[in-house]
Amino acid sequence: MKIVVLAGGYSPERDVSLSSGSLIANSLMRSGHSVLLVDAFLGLEIPQNEELDSMFRRAGDEEYSYRIEQIAPDMEELKKKAYHGSLVGKNVLTLCHHADLVFMALHGAMGENGQMQAILETENIRFTGSTHVGCVLAMDKDITKKLLKTEGIPTADWITLDLKQDRLPSSVALPCVVKPCSCGSSVGISIVHTEEELKQALEEAKKYEDLILIEKKISGREFSVGVLDGTALPPIEIIPKTGFYDYKNKYQAGATEEICPASLTEAELEQVQALAERVARVLRLGCYCRIDFILEQNQGIFYCLEANTLPGMTPSSLLPQEAAAAGIGYDALCQRIVDLALPAGTV
């Protein structure tokens, strides 16, 4: 099968995405597929007089690799490289049309907010993961939290602030968490304890978007639960060695202790797995996703932090670790995601 792995994109999380995409591409080649890794934003040149099939790599060819830097990329510099001002790079759709399937390895921005999925749906291109509707519901943290609250799923109290038109409320309950409304990978997020820190946090979040979410800080243990084909995987507990689970701690090896399967009582395990499956259904997510929680230390309640429609697939990513704990190796996980994207009866 010919598979385009779509990664990169115009997003603060593009480095994470390219790292995920490289590993996914190599895995799919090992499984016998012909694979082409494509940066959704920068695109690819198609050499003159070259058959498109020859651009796809196979087992035995040079493998892909990409290293994640400690800080998110400079978006203003990246914008200068846009193809005629478009968020979709040169030849991206041509190459996607030529493939049998697009494996979505994008993170953040148009890769997870539904824009890229809507384009592919309009072009009748088959792809992995959630539809554009599920992506819209999960990427906007304000919409996510409103849906969770309506369904009785615990989530921290919050307010949203549009920095273009709203004034900061006269008082904000501290401590709190400030984050851009539609970023992932903890990009632009700050833990705030003082009024001065609040001002700094808003400036940091504004670098990424004007719609800001300010939520009550819930203290406790942090967990993540992958959901594969509607069934929750073993939870993983996340314990940063310093600070909180920010961009650097997520992607630099050794910065965070990750325990999988997490040490939970049977009742706690059943509770968080059931909640993860409910969140996936409420947000209409696709064949795989990952849901993040805090176990509040006093009341023993799991609070949902957010849902990830395209979980990372890097060496330090959580979903592959959870799948491994369930007996599903990395190559088998990638192949399973491919199988779930195909029409019934074709696997």
Q: Are 237 and 260 in contact (CB under 8 A)?
A: yes
Residue 246 annotated as catalytic: no
Residues 258 and 19: their CA atoms lie apart, in Å, by: 19
Helix (H, G, I), strand (E, B) or coil at 327: coil
What single-letter amino acid sits at 69?
E
Catalytic residue among 15, 112, 222, 306, which? 306
Catalytic residue among 64, 292, 316, 330, which? 292
Q: Are 16 and 70 in contact (CB under 8 A)?
A: no
Q: Are strands 288-296 and 302-308 parallel, antiparallel or unpaired?
A: antiparallel
Catalytic residue among 22, 26, 308, 316, which? 308
What single-letter amino acid sits at 310?
L
Residues 39 and 89: their CA atoms lie apart, in Å, by: 7
The rounded radius of gyration (Å) of the Cα atoms in the chain is: 20
Residue 249 annotated as catalytic: no
Strands (E), 181-287: 190-192, 211-216, 220-228, 231-232, 236-240, 256-259
CA distances for 134 relative to 115, 286, 287, angstroms: 11, 7, 11
Cis ω for the linkage preceding 47 (within 30 of 0): no
Residue 166 annotated as catalytic: no
Catalytic residue among 249, 290, 316, 317, which? 290
Catalytic residue among 8, 9, 10, 13, which? 13
Residues 18 and 320: their CA atoms lie apart, in Å, by: 16
Residue 292 annotated as catalytic: yes
Catalytic residue among 17, 185, 190, 224, which? 185
Given the structure tokens 């953040």, which residue do they identify?
108
Half-sphere exposure of 47 (CA within 13 A, CB side): 7
Beta partners for residue 162, in sequence order: 211
Catalytic residue among 64, 245, 251, 288, which? 251
Active site residues: 13, 185, 251, 290, 292, 306, 308, 312
